[in-house]
Amino acid sequence: MKLVILDRDGVINQDSDAFVKSPEEWIALPGSMHAIARLTQADWTVVVATNQSGLARGLFDMAALNAIHAKLHHEVAQAGGQVDAIFLCPHGPDDGCSCRKPLPGMYYDIARRYDIDLAGVPALGDSLRDLQAASTAGCDPWLALTGNGQKTQAKGELPPGTQVCDDLAAFADMLLKDA
């Protein structure tokens, strides 16, 4: 199985300091739907791993989050692709869970769900916590320069072996070139 793990906000869609709280606020980044479609069509299983502390903060409820994800699934399908699953951490920063990135719990859940060793699985994020969680779980961390990616790159301290790409489309290009 060829598996790829993507962060959501800042990688697939526009990020917001005020949180993405409704389907209307969820806006796909240019090229991201087509990039997911190209990966799907090349037999990659695309999975999303996303922190959603807005749930714990009371900024939106599960129905709103499900509506946001329904929009994501619909737009990806319209482009000819598929997101196989969305894993999320609903906890706040101080809740002490093991699934909130930078901890690797979500990635371990993905490994169990797909019965796969994550060694070498490409994982794309735009923040240091995405890269740290991916690296700790054994994935190959990739930094997208969209969302918070440029700030993350400028701060440095990226996990060893982190590769950098402009956006999700460039990431897909790299994976498909190597296939």
Quick check: is 94 catalytic?
no
The answer to whether 97 is a known ligand-binding residue is yes
Of 9, 15, 140, 167, the active-site residue reads: 9
165 is known to lie in a ligand binding site: no
Cβ atoms < 10 Å from Cβ of 161: 11
CB environment 130-158: b (16+ within 10 A), e (fewer): bbbbbbbbbbbbbbbbbbbbeebbeeeeb
Q: What is the DSSP letter of 98?
A: S
Choice among 7, 130, 140, 167 that is catalytic: 7
Active site residue 140: no
Annotation-wise, does 91 bind a ligand? yes
Say if residue 89 carries a ligand binding annotation.
Answer: yes
Of 6, 2, 43, nearest to 168 by C-alpha is 6
Question: Residue 17 annotated as binding?
Answer: no
How far is residue 130's CA from residue 137's CA, in Å, rounded to a whole number? 11
User: What sign does the CA torsion over 30, 158, 132, 138 have?
Assistant: positive
Q: Could you tell me which residues are beta bridge partners of residue 140?
A: 122
Which of the residues are catalytic?
Answer: 7, 9
Q: Which residues fall in the annotated binding site for Mg(2+)?
A: 7, 9, 126
Q: Which residues fall in the annotated binding site for Zn(2+)?
A: 89, 91, 97, 99
Q: Which residues fall in the annotated binding site?
A: 7, 9, 89, 91, 97, 99, 126
